Chain A
Amino acid sequence: MAAALPAPRWLPAAAALLWACCGLAATDGIQDQAEQFFRSGHTNNWAVLVCTSRFWFNYRHVANTLSVYRSVKRLGIPDSHIVLMLADDMACNPRNPKPATVFSHKNMELNVYGDDVEVDYRSYEVTVENFLRVLTGRIPPSTPRSKRLLSDDRSNILIYMTGHGGNGFLKFQDSEEITNVELADAFEQMWQKRRYNELLFIIDTCQGASMYERFYSPNIMALASSQVGEDSLSHQPDLGIGVHLMDRYTFYVLEFLEEIHPASQTNMNDLFQVCPRSLCVSTPGHRTDLFHRDPQNVLITDFFGSVRKVEITTQTVALDPNLVGLETRVPSDEMATEPLKYAEQLPVAQIIHQMVSTHTGT
């Protein structure tokens, strides 16, 4: 039924066409790279970083969270878009031999506490209820802006949680826990109100993979430091400080992130390879079935950084300055202020004068 076309006749034409297309595609390839920005569809980035354990021996959890905070800030997300929740204060803990520092490498190489840490929820404010309120947006009206997650439908959100966990739960503050079902429901509530465009969930606890098992909302990618039944181990103790400084998984993630700069094109597949079993002892896991894009196309900076989409402004509005004078300005009701000066706290001259007059009086 298919007519047997003479092969030599159309073959060079087709080859030429294909070659021309390839040539076009090559020049378009560079344009595609630049347009790739628009593929992810997000216009702003948020990060919610949670450390859930208190007490001095859980120093490593605070160090974990602060090192992710540091990387995220370095790659461009501003403090106004980061909700940092630390359950305990390690830097100013009375047991800290080096006050106002939190180290992540032994021999005190890297101080992740830095100079401009902005902690939004601190100490006893880090509870399951507050965490869920932040995620779902059901916050009392008196909450200040820095404590809110004001994301919209074009926000990519990074959620990082660390602490002690088990099969299906994460312990908060040694007194309560959040289950994977509650977390999945919270994400679904976020999706219903379109409070995120894409969500990256990273968890560094024992049996972390159990926390992402129950997710059912779209556009979520999840990473965990260990599978169900495995423990996540800590990295190295520092003999000077006396506690373990970091967890293994986050330590290697931090090393990986130190190589990333705002313009880098590293994708998520590289992040999945971070910390193989030989280094981490536990097996890190990830979940991408709910994510609509291929991890190969997802840049690290889509979640960890804040690379803005930019368009050149080509149009202007024609304004006529002459018309402005015709409209009368509404007189603003300003009160004429005279220069003020402080009242004299201790009118010495007056007192002396009074004393002199009373003296002379008597």
Chain B
Amino acid sequence: MLLFAQFQLTVPVSVVFAKGALPGAQWRRLPFTDTQEEESLLNPKTSVTARYETTYRSATATEQAALAMATVQEADAELLPLQEDSVGALTVYVIPETSLLLPQGIGVYVGKHRSAVMRRTQGPGDVLAAISDRVRQIVQAMSFTTDSITTALSDRVPMDQLGTDTRRPFKSSLGYEITFSLLNPDPKSHDVHWDIEAAVNSYVQPFLDKLGSVANFSVDSQILYYAVLGVSPRFDKASSSFILSALSLPHVINPVEARLGSSATSLYPVLNFLLYVPERVHSPLYIQDKDGAAVGTNAFHSPRWGGIMVYNIDHPAPDKAPLPLRVDVDMVRVMEVFLAQLRLLFGISQVPLPEEFLLESPGNKGLTDWELDRLLWTRTVENIATVSTTLTSLAQLLDKIGNIVIKDDVASEVYHAVASAQTAMLELASGRLGSAFQASKEAVTSSERAFFDPSLLHLLYFPDDQKFAIYIPLFLPMAVPILLSLVKILREAKQSKKEPMKTD
């Protein structure tokens, strides 16, 4: 018995045609709505149906003016207020082949928000049929694909079908704790300062604010002195620098982790981002990948843990500068790497797209709206699947131990979880992603609270054979003389009844 096994995910799409993008005959057909479904079966019991509700219409005058701007970035900014601002809904603008809005060689531009601009494909004939494939490709890149949903439902899929990408991102959780640590193993030589508060407020906080609907975040930072990496780097004569090879990287983290001490208080998963300033005698320190090439970012990350970046300092000639050398860390460079690692650890990975797609960079926010949507789609499905397995196993536990007592609050949590999950499924089917995600989050919270309630420990409920084992040795020895004396009383009673008859 598996609840919530048939997922129906609806994506509302608007395809807007600019003037000249459609021949006259087809122009007159606008506006109209078309719905297409794509079903994939993950296992005999679980299926995912993707419904694309596409509305085709012509561009309004303001939209036309916006599409006539000089660059596509400006057009994107102008078009933003004209779109329906709901989570999960997408808009694709089709411009004629002759338009100069998109640069040469680029067929599709995916913006920072929830829209894309595509050039009408070449060739005569039914334009709508011709562009539908391209539109489907764009929509799938901006919402979800079968692969991403399969990853979210990884519990129900055999392990060998999953890629390594599934192990990297954190599981859906209600909150995360992010810790930035500066490691200074050589305070005698380096007096390192980093303006972490400003950097977090400028670069990290906007990213976290955008993800605010997904989870709660708490950020803290610390500086650790005399914290060394677990591995001594090799000296490479060719580049006269120190090298950390890729094979030694896994052993770097453990000795440091004991000193990080960040997990003392909260129960949420912790992401650690470490900035390591190498010692003077080990400078400069570079990370090499498997092929022996130097790594541009000089950083590496570990799935479900965090990331480490090595920050090299230029040392002037010894007699010119007194020790300790004052170092002000360039936080922009550091945050660029940390944000990239943060994105990877949340599962916001690059979608493989053909050459002619131009993806707008997310800018200082660190995350585009459609990337957030991708995250929300997978998280919602993952949450609902988790609720389903949790409640099913709770039901199995109750079947097994018949005399378990369910308290009222546990029961109400279970009802709430089921109701919220049903709401989430309905909202997903109607295409309202934002409310579907909120409902799924509530469902997960309730189901976890019900499952992990301390009163459900099966040790507290005695199985029948233990009850017999306890009471029989107590009562059986007592019962024997009682029974025998009862039998004796009955026999005497029978005798005394018989006697009056006997004397006669």
Contact = CB atoms under 8 A, between A and B. Distances in A.
Given A31-B290, A324-B364, A316 B340 contact: yes
B38 interface: no
A348 interface: no
A214 B302 CA distance: 36
Contact of A319 (B364, B455, B460): B364
A284 B257 CA distance: 35
A132 B301 contact: no
A302 B199 CA distance: 37
Nearest to A327: B202
B301 A128 contact: no
Contact of A309 (B250, B337, B397, B453): B250
Nearest to B460: A129
Interface residues of B, number: 71
A312 B300 contact: yes
Contacts of B299: 312-313
A145 B265 CA distance: 7
Given A193-B393, A312-B287, A313-B297, A182 B350 contact: no
Given A132-B457, A307-B250, A192 B304 contact: no
B182 to A, nearest CB: 18
B5 interface: no
A128 B451 CA distance: 20
Interface string A51-93: 0000000000000000000000000111110000000000000
B30 interface: no
Given A43-B305, A145-B265, A262-B254, A316 B364 contact: no
Given A78-B258, A311-B301, A319-B339, A192 B452 contact: no
A129 B251 contact: no
A193 B254 contact: no
B398 to A, nearest CB: 12
B340 A315 contact: yes
Interface string B289-303: 110000111011111
A253 interface: no
- Determine the main DSSP class of A at the interface with B: loop
Interface residues of A, number: 57
B302 A132 contact: no
Interface in B198-250: 201-203, 246-247, 249-250
Given A194-B155, A316-B297, A319-B332, A311 B302 contact: yes
Contact of B302 (A133, A185, A310, A314): A310
B302 A308 contact: yes
A194 B461 CA distance: 24
Nearest to A150: B267
Q: Which 3 A-B pairs have the closest CB atoms?
A: A192-B393, A76-B254, A316-B336
Interface of B: 155, 159, 164, 167-168, 171, 201-203, 246-247, 249-251, 253-255, 257-258, 263-267, 269, 287, 289-290, 295-297, 299-305, 307, 309, 332, 335-337, 339-341, 343-344, 350, 361-364, 366, 389-390, 393, 396-397, 400, 451-460
Interface of A: 31, 34, 37-38, 41, 43-44, 76-80, 128-129, 132-133, 136-140, 145-146, 148, 150, 152-154, 182, 185, 189, 192-194, 262-263, 292, 306-321, 323-324, 327, 329
